[in-house]
Amino acid sequence: MRLSPTAILYSAAVPPSPRDETRGLALVALSTVAYGVLPILGKVAYSAGVRPLPLLAWRYAIAAALIALLERGPRPALRDRLSLWAIGAVFVFNSIAYFRALEEIPASVIALVLYTYPVIVALLAALLGVERLTRRALLAAASAFAGCALTAGGARSGQPPAPSGVAWALVAAVVYASYIVLSSRFGRGFPARVLALHLAQAAAVICVAFALADGGLAVPLDARGLLAVAGIGVVSTVVAMTVFLAGMAIVGPTRASVVSSLEVLVTLVLAFALLGERLGPGQWAGAALILGAVALQNAAALRWAVSGAPRPRPGPAA
């Protein structure tokens, strides 16, 4: 899942050349694969005996250290840093809920349920007065949550996923959506890596504290588990975010957001190929409803992405 969806580098008003645009889209597609492999690596880590809180503590400790090496610019004032750390503290509870869900339900189901977050963002933004609530947003919300119900109840084996796991996935989606809305209001004007650095720092401190209170930071000395933890920290956090931002800087947030929506499909394919997970007919119907809801919510972005037409210059947050 994305470390900082609002940590965006904005492109200039001059459209990129075809070669640059191709490179930008390739970078965003690469980030989609790196993000999509996250639940697969999480399942591998769990199978090796790694517990969720030590896994998260090491994930964010690795990410914070590497991002600090990449971001050597000046730091914001202390008051601003406190605001950014507070946003990171909200985000970390999304990760905790996500990895708790990963303990109980298949990676493919989590990916689908979590992907209701763009619709939840629209509802929260309307509730807080950030954006106007439209009939399109209400229709997308109804479709997304109907899709969640089908996804949770239509397992191929006849045994629906654990209700508590689905509930944790929904909590992760709601917290993630809340984080996006908060970031759009209080994270404006800061460089992408500065936002990501403070998020990772806050997440590392909180997860390390929780892990120490719950038995410590130790992970089994199993090669698969150690590689999975390192992969989550490096590939699915630092590398994924870095190439996403690099591609975003070239093609802009509108087209990058559409390409990044393929993350769900990447997770479904990898879960099938590597974990043997299969969705039942009802879950495929739920997947269609969820993805259709997100497409409906982002219809304008889809038109720009397909046509390649010049896009409006983005505002200060997306």
Query: Average of pLDDT values for 57-83?
Result: 89
The CA angle 11-309-115, to the nearest 5 degrees, is 70
**pLDDT per residue over 157-182, tens digit each?**
556 677 888 889 889 888 888 877 77
pTM equals: 0.74
Q: What does the buried/exposed string (b/e) look like for 48-82 if buried means 16 or more CB atoms within 10 Å of the residue's CB?
A: bebbbbbbbbbbbbbbbebbeeebeeeebeeebbe
The region of weakest confidence among 48-57, 233-242, 278-287 is 278-287
Separation of first and last alpha carbons in the chain: 17
Q: Which stretches within 234-276 are classed as H helix?
A: 240-260, 263-275
Instruction: Report which DSSP code applies to 105.
Output: S
pLDDT value, residue 152 = 61
55, 219 Cβ separation under 8 angstroms: yes
Strands (E), 18-60: none
Q: How far apart are CA 14 and CA 32, in angstroms?
A: 26
C-alpha dihedral sign at 293, 294, 297, 299: negative
Those residues with Cβ within 8 angstroms of residue 189's Cβ, 6 or more apart along the chain or in another chain: 316
Centroid of chain to Cα 72: 25
What tokens appear for 241 in the block?
A: 């975010």
All structural domains of the chain with their residue ranges:
37-307
pLDDT value, residue 217 = 92
| 317 or 221, greater pLDDT | 221
Q: How far apart are CA 225 and CA 52, in angstroms?
A: 12
**pLDDT per residue over 259-301, tens digit each?**
666 777 788 888 888 888 777 777 778 778 777 776 776 666 5
Return the residue matching tokens 């920290």: 233
26 has pLDDT over 70: yes
